[in-house]
Amino acid sequence: MQKINVKSGAKIDDYKAYGSLNSSVLDFIEKATQPIASLNGSTIWMINSTAIGGGVAEMLPSQMRILRELGVSIEWLVLDANDPNFFDLTKRIHNAIHGSGDGKFTETDREVFEATNTANLSDALELIKDGDIVVVHDPQPMPLAAMIKKQRNVAIVWRCHIGLEEDTAITDAVWNFLSPYTDDYDHFVFSLPSYVPKSLKEKTSIIPPAIDPLSHKNRALQLHKNVGILYQSGILDDHKAILYNRYNHLVRRVMPDGSFGSPNQHNSLHLIYRTFVTEISRWDRLKGFKELMQAFIKMKKDNREHGDPESLEYKRIKMTLLVLAGPDPAFVSDDPEGEAVLKELTAQYQSVDPEMQNDIAILLMPLDNPKENALIVNALQRSSTIIVQNSIQEGFGLTATEAMWKRKPVLVSGAAGLKFQVEHDKNGKINEDPTDIGKLAETLAYMLNHPKERDKWGFNGQLRVIQNFTLFSQLISWLEVLSAQKST
């Protein structure tokens, strides 16, 4: 078990200084006082399986910083694991909770699952004392609860960050496999109501994911900084950044011959001078990239064939670019599925005419430096005209939250997590079926041709995030859950 050292960062006063965040911070402090007082004497132990990468590792440091500033004792432990069979199993569990895979779990799997957790137990017991509260994140450390409880008088909460809206034979099988472990938990936290397995409903709270408005991915960027990041990362080529040099690793773009080149090598994107529609995600089939590209191509072709070249509508669509951005596979090991999806998108890109290819940029973002990656995502999102999340399935869709926070109009599918966040015609558009290419093309064209509505949607989106999906709304819910554990 590794105890993670959380570096210093934004303070409560830094958040309070933002006019738009001020009242939610004050509200949080007021509501937090009592639950924090009730936690006095207990340490909160967060346990997960990784210190870097993934939403949990991204959000924990800012949550912990805020709680610590208010006097809460909170620590973060990461499971030590080096058995490849353990990783294979936990990946299968993860997939099965999402409804994919074969749903087969054996007694050998159980032994593998428990062996890695048993190996971490003594470290945990050295630190955790009677009266503390433990929060176990996701399936990997799940068996630890029973083991810890045998020796310590503690409340243990299981925080599940994943889920599927419906019950299938596969989800039933995995929940069945996990049931001996869920029995040992005092409480559960899921992201959406529809993800909670029936058997756990009574002891569950819903806490949706949230963003940290001052993280590198979400903090405000002055125009020169925004453009500077686009230059530093290689996306812009025409004007050198004055203060800083280029990043060590640059963004690459899929070329018409299928190779990876620099973003402006084949044709100049003129990114900041054009409207552009962006989807940023992992290269996963469920993110709906393929369908989005098809819809963009259809919209452009319809415009070419039937539009009036003198009209503003025609020109708006003609000047629009599509940006599909995701991780550069050079920095991701062991993701054959992601590579296959990128290959499919590349083939799709190669099959369109050269004029269309100039209007589509499949961008590969380096991952060697998390801060730079976050700033690139931030700058791309802030420069976009519309942000799309066309997911076929989506746990939550933080990319939509991030976009709304940045006052960007969003176009999302009806996938559970997205529908939970986005209000149709208020923050953008919900296009229910991400595979309905005609409807998607039409919605995109409508959004591109209604700039004033886009402005309104952007403003409403930011308000929606401030009221429901920031660090502060999330921490209030967490404190309620934790203090309830203390009183039981």
**Residue numbers at the binding site for ligand UDP (CB under 6 A):** 55, 217, 280-282, 326-327, 365, 373, 377, 395-399, 402
Residue (363 or 448) nearer to ligand UDP, CB: 363
Is residue 248 within 8 A of residue 368, CB to CB? The reply is yes
Instruction: Quote the tokens at residue 435.
Output: 């595979």
Radius of gyration of the chain, Cα coordinates, nearest whole angstrom:
23
**What is the C-alpha separation between 429 and 295, in angstroms, rounded?**
15
Residue (154 or 277) nearer to ligand UDP, CB: 277
Residue (401 or 483) nearer to ligand UDP, CB: 401
Smallest gap from residue 269 Cβ to ligand UDP (A)? 18
Smallest gap from residue 388 Cβ to ligand UDP (A)? 12
**What is the C-alpha separation between 46 and 52, in angstroms, rounded?**
14
Residue (377 or 448) nearer to ligand UDP, CB: 377
DSSP character at residue 211:
B
Smallest gap from residue 381 Cβ to ligand UDP (A)? 8
Of 388, 197, 179, 358, nearest to 295 by C-alpha is 388
Smallest gap from residue 389 Cβ to ligand UDP (A)? 7
Instruction: Quote the tokens at residue 36.
Output: 């924090």
Residue (284 or 302) nearer to ligand UDP, CB: 284
Task: Enumerate long-range contacts of 105-111, CB under 8 Å, 24 or more apart.
Answer: 105/173, 105/174, 105/177, 109/177, 110/177
Longest dimension (CA), the chain: 77
> Strand 252-254 to strand 360-365: parallel, antiparallel, or no bridges (unpaired)?
antiparallel
Residue (271 or 377) nearer to ligand UDP, CB: 377
What angle (nearest 5°) sits at the alpha carbon of residue 286, between those of residues 285 and 289?
60
Smallest gap from residue 124 Cβ to ligand UDP (A)? 27
Smallest gap from residue 334 Cβ to ligand UDP (A)? 16
Residue (26 or 340) nearer to ligand UDP, CB: 340
β partners of residue 45: 75, 134
CA distances from 446 to 198, 321, 365, 439, 453 (A): 41, 15, 29, 10, 10
**What is the C-alpha separation between 74 and 133, in angstroms, rounded?**
9
**What is the C-alpha separation between 232 and 227, in angstroms, rounded?**
9
Residue (70 or 162) nearer to ligand UDP, CB: 162
Report the residue closest to ligand UDP, judged by CB.
Answer: 398
Residue (378 or 485) nearer to ligand UDP, CB: 378
Smallest gap from residue 280 Cβ to ligand UDP (A)? 5
Smallest gap from residue 282 Cβ to ligand UDP (A)? 5
What angle (nearest 5°) sits at the alpha carbon of residue 92, between those of residues 45 and 164?
80
Smallest gap from residue 55 Cβ to ligand UDP (A)? 6
Smallest gap from residue 405 Cβ to ligand UDP (A)? 11
**What is the C-alpha separation between 314 and 320, in angstroms, rounded?**
10
Residue (129 or 285) nearer to ligand UDP, CB: 285
Secondary structure (DSSP) of 375-422? HHHHHHHHH-SEEEE--SS-S--HHHHHHHHTT--EEEES-HHHHHHP
Residue (234 or 397) nearer to ligand UDP, CB: 397
Smallest gap from residue 414 Cβ to ligand UDP (A)? 16
Residues 6 or more apart in contact with residue 273 via CB below 8 angstroms: none
